[in-house]
Amino acid sequence: MIEIIYGIHAILTLLEHNPQHLLDVYLLKGKNKNSLQPIIQQLEQAGIIIQIASRKWFDEKAAGAIHQGIIARVQAKKQQQLQENDLPALLAQLAMPLLLVLDGVTDPHNLGACLRCADATGVHAVIVPRNRAAPLNATAKKVASGAAETVPLFRITNLTRTLRILQAHNVWIVGTAGEATHTLYQSKLTGPLALVMGEEHVGMRRLTREHCDEIISIPMAGAVSSLNVSVAAGVCLFEAVRQRR
């Protein structure tokens, strides 16, 4: 199966990690190529075919998304779908797991941004439900800026059962909610940890919340009552990294 990916960082990461999957690359006709020159050189060194395409072709392929004047056709990797049965093997390899769980995050932009935060903070895996979750499509990969290639993504059928699996492996489950009685900065995040983020308007589902060991909030000093889920995930994950160091 052939996929389309776009954006400099997403294509660079694929070029660095899995260049064999790149079929060819298209540059926008008439675009100033100064910003693209470094990646053009790497593509040429790797023997990747580079072609020029019109703005109309780009707009059709990217469906209105920001493509930065570069699109690649990719041979999709035939990967086994990671699921809850694969978690014990991952956990057995980790002395101090750090996991991100997304409950009800359905926007591909938010999924991509959360993957980017996960990569930046050294998260070992991101876990999402099979249903009510954003697809890992071209938009998510573009926003992830290459993190979709580096962070394992588990799609699981039953989130509460997965949380119980994590707890059986001594992973502390920390959920986030605006009405929590104590804040992120009052929480100890130094042990094996799974951070659960709900959709920013609705939050975690009831069963998900009931299976958390702790509920925390991010203190808000301004007029807005909540943050975008990817921003909130970044704040919490970097606090966990700070405490662990």
* Strand-pair category, 193-198 with 98-103: parallel
Binding residues: 198, 218, 227
Residue 119 confidence (pLDDT): 95
Residue 116, CA distances (Å) to 111, 113, 156, 173, 233 in order: 9, 5, 20, 21, 10
Instruction: Say if CB 6 and CB 142 are below 8 A apart.
Output: yes
**Which pLDDT tens digits describe the chain residue by residue (245 residues)?**
788 888 888 888 888 888 888 899 999 988 777 788 889 999 999 899 999 999 888 888 887 777 889 999 888 665 557 898 999 999 999 999 999 999 999 999 999 999 999 999 999 999 999 998 999 988 898 888 888 888 999 999 999 999 999 999 999 999 999 889 899 999 999 999 999 999 877 889 999 999 999 999 999 888 887 889 999 999 999 999 999 99
- How many beta carbons lie within 10 A of that of residue 99, not counting itself? 25
Evaluate if pTM is beyond 0.85.
Answer: no
Q: Please give the pLDDT value at position 176.
A: 95
pLDDT digits (tens, 9 = 90+) for 128-156: 999 989 999 888 988 888 888 889 999 99
Query: Order of strands across the sheet with 22-28?
Result: 2-6, 70-75, 22-28, 49-53
Point out the annotated binding site for S-adenosyl-L-methionine: 198, 218, 227
Structural domains in the chain, CATH included, are 2-75 (3.30.1330.30), 84-244 (3.40.1280.10)
Residue 43, pLDDT score: 92
For 240, the enclosing helix (H) or strand (E) is: helix 229-244
Q: Which tokens in the block code for residue 26?
A: 């298209």
**Residues recorded for the chain:** 245
What's the pLDDT score for residue 80?
52
- How many other β-carbons are positioned within 10 Å of the β-carbon of residue 207? 12
Round to whole Å and give the CA distance between 103 and 196. 7
Q: What share of the chain is helix, strand, coil (3-state, %, to 5)?
A: 40, 25, 40
Confidence at residue 60, expressed as pLDDT on a 0 to 100 scale? 85
The SS3 call for residue 94 is: coil
